[in-house]
Amino acid sequence: MSQEILSSHRDRIDQLDEKLIRLLAERFEITKAVGTLKAEQGMPAADPEREAQQIERLHKIAKEVGMDPHFSVKVFRLIVDEVIRHHERTAEETSGL
Distance between CA atoms of residues 24 and 43, nearest Å = 24
Question: Is residue 63 within 8 Å of residue 69, measured between CB atoms?
Answer: yes
d(CA 55, CA 71): 11
Give residues 40-69 in contact with its own copies (rule: CB under 8 A): 40-41, 50, 54, 57-58, 61-62, 65-68
32: nearest Cα among 88, 72, 70: 88
Tell me the per-residue interface mask from 7 to 46 with its own copies, x by CB under 8 A, - otherwise: --xx-xxx-xxxxxxxxxxxxx-xx-xx--xx-xx-----
Binding site for its own copies (CB under 8 A): 2, 5-6, 9-10, 12-14, 16-28, 30-31, 33-34, 37-38, 40-41, 50, 54, 57-58, 61-62, 65-68, 71-72, 74-76, 78-79, 82
